[in-house]
Amino acid sequence: MQWLVFALLVVGSSVASFVTRERRFRRRWQNVELPAITVGRGAYREGPATGAMMPSAPLALRLAALSCLVYGRGVNMALITTALFLAGFPLRQVAETTLHGLLGYLAGAYGFGAIAAIVLAALGLGAGNDLLLRNHRHAFRRTRNIALASLALHGLVWTNITFHGHIVASSARDVATSLAYARTIAAVAFGHAALMLGLAYAYRAQLTALS
């Protein structure tokens, strides 16, 4: 039940933030002219037609922005939930999973994995906001760099836990549980980073076609 409420809060707040920002900056994209197309057949009719404007930001950009918001808010809310649990609130299910994940990332990335994952989630949240601002170069570079860093970090964690985790896990059952949680989180985060990277390049290709 706690996880259901947690998921609804994360997705709901992310969608609300996305819709608000998308509507706020939609007018900027409506000033972008679409490529000319050939219309009509016959004498005096066939020719390129221009003047059509984009109705909103490209689909790839909107998907990338929404995924960044969900991922970033998910990590932030998990940390907040853990802090509330440590303060005495009955939020054990989410907090235990978060603590196991943090411990697993510490073990899976030579002691810096947990902090790096939190920083990347915060940067991804910012990138999700930037993507809707119609700043092609800045948004693409920032999203690409965050995606590449995420691929490296989460790939490292997953690889170390998968192929070397048994050495650490053999000494303590709690550590084994933490590594199992961290490996699952790393796989999901790696998939999100790959998706974000692909959508960033699709976004650049769409804007290049419009220029």
Token couple for 54: 């984009």
- Residue 65: predicted pLDDT: 87
> What is the residue-wise DSSP string for 27-95?
HHHTTSBPPPEEE--STTT-EEE---B-SSS-HHHHHHHHHHHHHHHHHHHHHHHHHHHHTT-S-HHHH
Please give the angle made by the CA atoms of 31, 61 and 15, to the nearest 5 degrees.
105
- Residue 69: predicted pLDDT: 92
pLDDT at 207 over 80: no
Strands 37-39 and 47-49: antiparallel
Instruction: Report pLDDT digits (tens) over 161-173.
Output: 888 755 454 456 6
One-letter amino acid identity for 68? C
- Altogether, the residues listed in the chain come to a count of 211
pTM higher than 0.85, yes or no? Answer: no
- Residue 118: predicted pLDDT: 93
- Give the residue with greater pLDDT, 170 vs 115: 115
- Residue 43: predicted pLDDT: 53
Which range has highest mean pLDDT (22-26, 86-90, 107-111)?
A: 86-90
Mean per-residue pLDDT, 126-138: 73
Check if the beta carbon of residue 65 is closer than 8 Å to that of residue 73.
no
Instruction: Report pLDDT digits (tens) over 51-104.
Output: 567 777 778 778 888 988 999 999 999 999 999 999 999 999 999 999 999 988
Which residues, 6+ apart, have CB-to-CB distance to 42 below 8 Å? Answer: none
Band (pLDDT 50/70/90 cuts) for residue 117 is very high
Instruction: Report pLDDT digits (tens) over 7-17.
Output: 999 999 999 99
Angle, helices 136-169/59-86, rounded to nearest 10 degrees: 50
Neighbours of 83 (CB within 10 A): 13
Q: Give me the percent of the chain exceeding a pLDDT of 90.
A: 40
Per-domain residue ranges for the chain? 2-210
Token couple for 127: 């990138």
Band (pLDDT 50/70/90 cuts) for residue 48 is low
Q: What are the angstrom distances between the C-alpha of 143 and each of 29, 56, 115, 116, 149? A: 19, 19, 19, 16, 10
Token couple for 25: 């900056």
